[in-house]
């Protein structure tokens, strides 16, 4: 069992612009109505880097920023970035270029196509030289990212920021990999409580027959949860928003289940 504490939370999705603006929806006090994705600014990035960044990278950077409390310096926090598809916009453009006779791929596109592009831009934005891990585990990217982040926080005895994000690819890739909406979540996990956090998590990995996936009562949020790997975090975010104890199950495909216990801070 891994025991860690949630010290910060961030969320960006359609009609869910930030943690503070979305808590009442996640807590069930208002029906989720969907809506537009908020404007992604990545304001921490220098102007030149911001112009080169993709929507995917700006989504990851903006949600990462939300989870950092004022007393925590971004350049002192290790990170885990996890996404099933990564830089889908750039991959689409590279495929288009490869289909032409010239097959010319710009260095900027190649630079932005790697799976740890968001992690690299975050390091530039914050000046951080802390360790960073980038993961891709298809539909299990959030569950595995949570396990990795909690493990690092517990073993290294330091704060670690989890950033899970996925953006729908363009057609024709969308037909093969349907994702109805973009979504991103961030959690700052620490090995000990600060007194300003949200609650304690106990995390276990168990066999595949150890429980059904936790779901959302709101139909719109359940559609979002089932349609985007990063949104598998929604049941945990809803429990955090309600500040209530919970026992949750997050599937990891055929391999097993991540069991998450939440005890809110008093």
Q: Which residues contact 213 (CB under 8 A, 6 or more apart)?
A: 232, 249, 250, 251
In the chain, what is the greatest distance between 2 CA atoms, to the nearest angstrom?
64
Q: How many CB atoms lie within 10 A of CB 233?
A: 28
In degrees and rounded to multiples of 5, residue 84 shows phi and psi of -75, -35
Sign (positive/negative) of CA torsion 39, 53, 62, 116? Answer: positive
Q: Residue 265 carries which DSSP code?
A: -
2-264 maps to which CATH number? 3.40.47.10
Strand order in the sheet with 183-190: 132-135, 78-82, 160-166, 183-190, 2-12, 199-206, 256-264, 246-252
pTM: 0.95
pLDDT for res 190: 97
pLDDT, position 24 = 96
Buried b (16+ CB within 10 A) or exposed e, 152-187: bbbeeebbbbbbbbbbbbeeebeeeeebebbbbbbb
Q: What is the dihedral of CA 118, 120, 125, 127, to 10 degrees?
A: 150
User: What dihedral do alpha carbons 227, 258, 219, 176 form, nearest 10°?
Assistant: 10
Low-confidence ranges of the chain (pLDDT < 50): none
Task: Report which of 6, 2, 1 is spatially closest to residue 196, judged by C-alpha positions.
Answer: 6
**The pLDDT value given to residue 43:** 93
pLDDT score recorded for residue 184: 98
């Amino acid at each position: 069992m891994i025991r860690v504490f949630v010290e910060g939370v961030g969320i960006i999705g359609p009609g869910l612009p930030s943690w503070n603006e979305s808590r009442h929806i996640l807590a069930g006090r208002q029906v989720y109505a969907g809506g537009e994705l908020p404007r992604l600014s990545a304001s921490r990035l220098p102007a030149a880097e911001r112009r080169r960044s993709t929507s995917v990278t700006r989504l990851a950077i903006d949600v990462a920023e939300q989870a950092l409390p004022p007393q925590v310096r971004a350049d002192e926090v290790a990170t885990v970035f996890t996404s099933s598809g990564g830089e889908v916009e750039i991959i689409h453009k590279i495929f288009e270029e490869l289909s032409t006779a010239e097959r010319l791929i710009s260095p900027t596109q190649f630079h932005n196509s790697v799976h740890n592009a968001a992690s690299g831009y975050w390091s530039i934005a914050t000046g951080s030289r802390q360790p960073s891990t980038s993961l891709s585990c298809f539909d299990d990217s959030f569950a595995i990212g949570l396990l990795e982040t909690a493990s690092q926080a517990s073993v290294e005895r330091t704060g670690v920021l989890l950033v899970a994000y996925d953006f729908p690819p363009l057609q024709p890739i969308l037909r093969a990999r349907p994702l109805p909406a973009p979504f991103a979540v961030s959690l700052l996990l620490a090995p000990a409580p600060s007194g300003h956090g949200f609650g304690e998590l106990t995390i276990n990995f168990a066999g595949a027959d150890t429980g059904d996936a936790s779901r959302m009562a709101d139909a719109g949020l359940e559609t979002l949860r089932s349609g985007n790997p990063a949104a598998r975090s929604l049941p945990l975010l809803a429990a955090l928003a309600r500040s209530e104890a919970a026992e949750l199950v997050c599937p990891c495909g055929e391999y097993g289940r991540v069991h998450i216990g939440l005890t809110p801070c008093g």
